[in-house]
Structure 1
Amino acid sequence: MNALILRVIALFEKIPHSLIAFIARFSIAAVFWKSGQTKVEGLAIDLIDGNFELGWPRLADSTIPLFQSEYHLPLLSPEIAAHLAAFAEHVFPLLILLGLATRFSALALLGMTLTIQLFVYPDAYPTHGTWAAVLLYLMATGPGKLSIDHLFARRFAK
Structure 2
Amino acid sequence: MHAMKKMAAWLDAIPYSVIALFLRVVASHPFFASGQTKIGGPTFGREIFGLDLTVQIPTAIRSATFALFADEYKLPLLSPNVAAYVTTAMELVLPPLLLLGFLTRLSALGLLAMTIVIQLFVYPDAWWTAHAYWTALLIVLIARGPGAISLDCLIFRK
1:65 pairs with one of 64, 67, 79? 67
Deviation of the 1:42 alpha carbon: 1.1
Any unmatched runs of 5+ in structure 1? none
- Number of equivalences: 153
Letter in 1 for 2:38: K
Task: Please give the per-residue CA displacement for 1:47-89, whole angstroms capped at 9, x wherever unaligned.
Answer: 63243554x4211110011011111112111000000000000
> Is 1:151 the equivalent of 2:154?
yes
Task: Please give the per-residue CA displacement for 1:16-46, whole angstroms capped at 9, x wherever unaligned.
Answer: 1111111111111111110000111115456
1:94 corresponds to? 96
Any unmatched runs of 5+ in structure 2? none
2:135 corresponds to? 132
Letter in 2 for 1:133: A
Return the alpha-carbon distance in structure 2 between the equivalents of residues 22 and 117 of structure 1.
25
Task: Please give the per-residue CA displacement for 1:99-146, whole angstroms capped at 9, x wherever unaligned.
Answer: 110000000000000000000001100210100111111111111111
- Give the share of equivalent positions with the same residue, in percent: 43
TM-score w.r.t. the length of structure 2 is 0.90
Return the alpha-carbon distance in structure 1 between the equivalents of residues 108 and 44 of structure 2.
21
Give the RMSD, CA atoms, in angstroms. 1.6
Return the alpha-carbon distance in structure 1 between the equivalents of residues 141 and 8 of structure 2.
23
1:21 corresponds to? 20
TM-score w.r.t. the length of structure 1 is 0.90
Q: After the TM superposition, which parts of structure 1 deviate over 2 Å for at least 4 consecutive aligned residues? A: 43-54
Q: Secondary structure at the match of 1:75?
A: coil
